[in-house]
């Protein structure tokens, strides 16, 4: 059962910190033992006290008893002080071990997300994944990072207390021990419900995070269409779901704690009554002081039983969160590098699609028996109606997805046989959706080639015709672009993305609607730069605007996943097919600025 626990799997992260973990366990065990030893030492305090009262007629006897009391009190103070110091060390070491485990878990979770294929992100909402990284790991952190010391000390203290109570009076211990199975059974039952409700709450938090993430990402649309009320109502619905789930979990905790305290109180009352009979019969170790120490041990044990019941519910909550985290960690990327993968040292840039079939999520194929050969250094533009498969062609070349059938090859080598690093290094890609990171302008360009010098960044910026506006920014290349590049215009963001792609000096360039956010004058400048930069490089250009594709060496026209026409602009116009109809209706190829 334990080995199937998601929390139990966290032990893998403790392997690198075994010395600290072992030291923490030693001090936790020492704290538990010293705490119980200190409680039992109270018997040595109470016995002289009773003796001094009983020997009131003898001044010498009373003084002797008081001396024993002072000595016993001093010993008790030493034990309590040592227990406190040990507890402090155990708490710090336990917190360090727990926090380090959660740190490594969070790191592994993020690294796993980086390794997963686009398929995974197509099927999962980003808000839910954010919730697993933030909310679920926070729940685990609260248990492993903050409660680890208590999780170890509480059961050890209970074990030592029970052992000491048995040595003092096994009859009395067994008499009050009948309550423990009942408490344990109720705790386990309540824990199951807590785990179920907690998992539901974590899922609802994922829904809530998705709503927030979508709302913030589409705030312009919300404002334009006046959707504030609808968005607030949508958030309210998800928020209510989280509240109800949290309150159900809180009800379970509220039921558990009073139940345990009631049984502990009953056990205490039984101890006072039955303990008096045992004391009269002379069956309590250390007499009256032993009975008081026994009662104190019972109180300590009851406190830790109650703490364990609450910790059990906390563990069940963390177990639900850990299960969601390990669901992601257990995922295997659908696109993996072959064991015999090779590198291309001298890349020419020839691209070929051979009988390629591909569809998203087992739906109708987007590409069906698609064939295309692109010669090294050739610029091929792909046009056609929306949904015709243009972007899919661009996605298959860098192996963002794997084909269902057929093969995509570069220089005659199947991309599935190439090392990922080699494949990505030969390409510069400007996707349809311009993505900038919350960093400086220079850093965003440098992401195209990690380790690039400042001079290389500037050269790429000049080639993309963005050096001029960057230099005019308040801090030049050090200017922060804001989240998703919000501080820049759409055209500026797109030119930064083009500079980032060009920095890599790739043999293959893929431009997917790369000039869609540029005004006419800026687009003209970009085209002038591209004419030079595309020399001796293979380029795939996907665009709706005629000015973007009319100078291509060849235009491929796609419809419903198949190539229906190909040729230069003039040839396709003369043929009078789909390309001409799209041009005449201005459905896709109209030259309009922004």
Tell me the C-alpha to C-alpha distance, in Å, between residue 306 and each of 180, 210, 257, 318: 11, 37, 6, 19
What stretch of H or E contains 451? none
The pair of structure tokens assigned to 305 is 């039983």
Q: Output the pLDDT for position 345.
A: 82
Question: What single-letter DSSP state applies at residue 432?
Answer: S
Handedness of CA 571, 575, 578, 582 (dihedral sign): positive
Q: Output the pLDDT for position 408.
A: 94
Place of tokens 């993020």: 110
Question: What single-letter DSSP state applies at residue 480?
Answer: B
Contacts of 416 (CB under 8 A, 6+ apart): 338, 399, 402, 407
Distance, CA of 558 to CA of 543 (rounded, Å): 12
Distance, CA of 303 to CA of 311 (rounded, Å): 12
Q: Kindly report the length of the chain.
A: 594
Q: Output the pLDDT for position 123.
A: 83
Handedness of CA 218, 219, 224, 225 (dihedral sign): positive
- Domain 2-329 and domain 351-585, same fold? Reply is no
Q: Output the pLDDT for position 100.
A: 87
Q: Are strands 508-512 and 427-430 parallel, antiparallel or unpaired?
A: parallel
Q: Are strands 379-383 and 554-559 parallel, antiparallel or unpaired?
A: parallel
Distance, CA of 270 to CA of 278 (rounded, Å): 12
Distance, CA of 143 to CA of 149 (rounded, Å): 10
Among 162, 246, 154, 145, residue whose Cα is nearest residue 197 = 246
**CA R_g for the chain:** 36
pLDDT tens for 107-138 read 898 888 888 888 888 888 888 888 888 888 88
Distance, CA of 540 to CA of 559 (rounded, Å): 17
Pair 533, 459: CB distance under 8 Å: no
Contacts of 5 (CB under 8 A, 6+ apart): 319, 322
What stretch of H or E contains 429? strand 427-430
First-last CA distance in the chain: 62
The pair of structure tokens assigned to 547 is 């000015």
| pTM of the predicted structure, to 2 decimals | 0.76
Distance, CA of 61 to CA of 54 (rounded, Å): 9
Pair 371, 563: CB distance under 8 Å: yes
Q: What are the two backbone dihedrals, phi and then psi, of residue 277, each rounded to the nearest 5 degrees? A: -65, -40
Distance, CA of 591 to CA of 379 (rounded, Å): 20
Distance, CA of 21 to CA of 15 (rounded, Å): 9
Label residue 72 exposed, middle or buried (CB < 10 Å: 0-12, 13-18, 19+).
buried
Label residue 20 exposed, middle or buried (CB < 10 Å: 0-12, 13-18, 19+).
middle
Distance, CA of 527 to CA of 591 (rounded, Å): 14
CATH 3.90.400.10, applies to 351-585: no
The pair of structure tokens assigned to 585 is 């209706």
Buried b (16+ CB within 10 A) or exposed e, 142-152: bbbbbbbbbbb
Q: Output the pLDDT for position 406.
A: 93
Distance, CA of 319 to CA of 332 (rounded, Å): 22
Distance, CA of 565 to CA of 490 (rounded, Å): 32
Distance, CA of 151 to CA of 143 (rounded, Å): 9
Lay out the sheet containing 405-410: strands in order across. Answer: 367-374, 351-358, 405-410, 413-414
CATH 1.20.1560.10, applies to 2-329: yes
The pair of structure tokens assigned to 590 is 């109209």
Contacts of 162 (CB under 8 A, 6+ apart): 173, 177, 301
Question: What single-letter DSSP state applies at residue 481?
Answer: -
Q: What is the 3-state secondary structure (H, E, C) of 211-269?
A: HHHHHHHCHHHHHHHCCHHHHHHHHHHHHHHHHHHHHHHHHHHHHHHHHHHHHHHHHHH
CA atoms within 13 A of residue 555's CA, in its CB half-sphere: 26
How many angstroms separate the most distant Cα atoms in the chain?
Answer: 129
Bridge partner residues of 517 (DSSP): none
Q: Output the pLDDT for position 414.
A: 93
Q: What are the two backbone dihedrals, phi and then psi, of residue 71, each rounded to the nearest 5 degrees? A: -65, -45
Give the domain ranges of the chain.
Answer: 2-329, 351-585
Question: What single-letter DSSP state applies at residue 15?
Answer: G
Buried b (16+ CB within 10 A) or exposed e, 224-261: eeebeeebeeeeeebbebbeebbebbeebeebbeebbe
**Residue-wise pLDDT tens for the chain (594 aa)?**
445 677 788 888 888 788 888 898 899 889 888 888 877 777 665 655 555 555 544 556 556 656 666 776 777 788 888 888 988 898 888 888 888 888 888 889 888 888 888 888 888 888 888 888 888 888 888 888 777 888 888 888 888 888 877 777 777 676 666 666 776 677 677 767 777 777 777 778 777 777 777 776 666 666 655 767 777 887 888 888 878 877 877 777 677 667 666 766 666 666 666 666 665 666 665 555 566 777 777 777 777 777 777 777 788 888 888 888 888 888 888 888 888 889 888 888 899 999 999 988 766 788 888 999 999 989 899 988 877 888 889 889 999 889 989 999 999 999 999 998 888 888 888 877 777 888 888 888 888 888 888 898 898 888 887 888 888 888 888 988 877 777 887 778 888 888 888 888 788 988 876 555 556 666 666 666 566 566 778 989 887 667 677 778 899 998 888 889 999 888 888 888 888 888 777 655 444 433
Number of helical H runs and strand E runs in the chain: 22, 10
Among 538, 482, 545, 558, residue whose Cα is nearest residue 517 = 545
Q: Output the pLDDT for position 411.
A: 92
């Amino acid at each position: 059962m334990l080995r199937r626990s998601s929390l139990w799997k966290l032990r893998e992260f403790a392997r690198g910190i075994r010395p600290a973990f072992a030291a923490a366990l030693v001090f936790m065990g020492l704290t538990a033992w010293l705490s119980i030893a200190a409680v039992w030492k109270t018997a040595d305090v109470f016995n002289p006290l009773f003796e001094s009262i009983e020997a009131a007629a003898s001044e010498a006897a009373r003084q002797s008893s008081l001396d024993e009391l002072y000595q016993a009190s001093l010993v008790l103070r030493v034990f309590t002080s040592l227990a406190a110091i040990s507890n402090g060390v155990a708490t710090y070491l336990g917190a360090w071990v727990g926090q380090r485990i959660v740190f490594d878990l969070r790191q592994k979770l993020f690294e796993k997300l980086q390794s997963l294929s686009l398929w995974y992100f197509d099927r999962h909402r980003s808000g839910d994944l954010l919730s697993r990284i933030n909310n679920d790991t926070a729940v685990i952190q609260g248990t492993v990072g903050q409660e680890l010391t208590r999780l170890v000390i509480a059961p050890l203290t209970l074990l030592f207390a029970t052992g000491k109570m048995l040595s003092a009076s096994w009859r009395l211990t067994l008499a009050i021990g009948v309550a423990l199975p009942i408490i344990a059974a109720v705790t386990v039952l309540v824990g199951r419900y807590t785990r179920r409700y907690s998992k539901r709450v974590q899922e609802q938090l994922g829904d809530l995070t998705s709503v927030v993430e979508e709302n913030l990402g589409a705030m312009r649309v919300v404002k334009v269409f006046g959707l504030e009320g609808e968005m607030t109502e949508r958030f309210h619905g998800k928020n209510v779901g989280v509240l109800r789930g949290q309150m159900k979990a809180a009800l379970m905790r509220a039921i558990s704690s009073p139940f345990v305290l009631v049984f502990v109180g009953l056990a205490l009352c039984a101890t006072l009554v039955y303990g008096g009979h045992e004391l009269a019969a002379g069956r309590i170790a250390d007499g009256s002081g032993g009975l008081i120490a026994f009662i104190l041990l019972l109180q300590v044990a009851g406190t830790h039983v109650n703490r364990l019941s609450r910790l059990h519910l906390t563990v069940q909550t963390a177990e639900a969160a850990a299960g969601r985290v390990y669901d992601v960690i257990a995922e295997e990327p659908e696109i993996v590098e072959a064991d015999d993968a090779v590198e291309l040292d001298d890349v020419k840039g020839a691209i070929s699609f051979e009988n390629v079939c591909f569809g998203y999520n087992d739906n109708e194929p987007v590409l069906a028996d698609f064939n295309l050969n692109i010669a090294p250094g050739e610029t091929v533009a792909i046009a056609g109606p929306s949904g015709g498969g243009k972007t899919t062609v661009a996605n298959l070349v860098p192996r963002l997805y794997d084909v269902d059938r057929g093969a995509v090859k570069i220089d005659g080598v199947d991309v599935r046989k190439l090392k990922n690093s080699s494949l990505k290094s030969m390409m510069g890609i400007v996707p349809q959706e311009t993505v900038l990171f919350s960093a400086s302008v220079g850093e965003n360009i440098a992401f195209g080639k990690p380790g690039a010098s400042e001079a290389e960044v500037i050269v790429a910026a000049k080639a993309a015709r963005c050096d001029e506006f960057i230099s005019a920014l308040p801090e030049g290349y050090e200017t922060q672009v804001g989240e998703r590049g919000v501080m820049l215009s759409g055209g500026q963001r797109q030119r930064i993305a083009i500079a980032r792609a060009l920095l890599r000096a790739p043999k293959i360039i893929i431009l997917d609607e790369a000039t869609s956010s540029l005004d006419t004058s800026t687009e003209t400048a970009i085209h002038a730069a591209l004419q030079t930069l595309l020399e001796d490089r293979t380029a795939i250009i996907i665009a709706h605007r005629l000015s973007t594709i009319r100078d291509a060496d060849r235009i491929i026209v796609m419809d419903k996943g198949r190539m229906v026409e190909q040729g230069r602009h003039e040839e396709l116009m003369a043929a009078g097919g789909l390309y001409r109809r799209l041009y005449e209706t201005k459905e896709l190829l109209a030259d309009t600025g922004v």
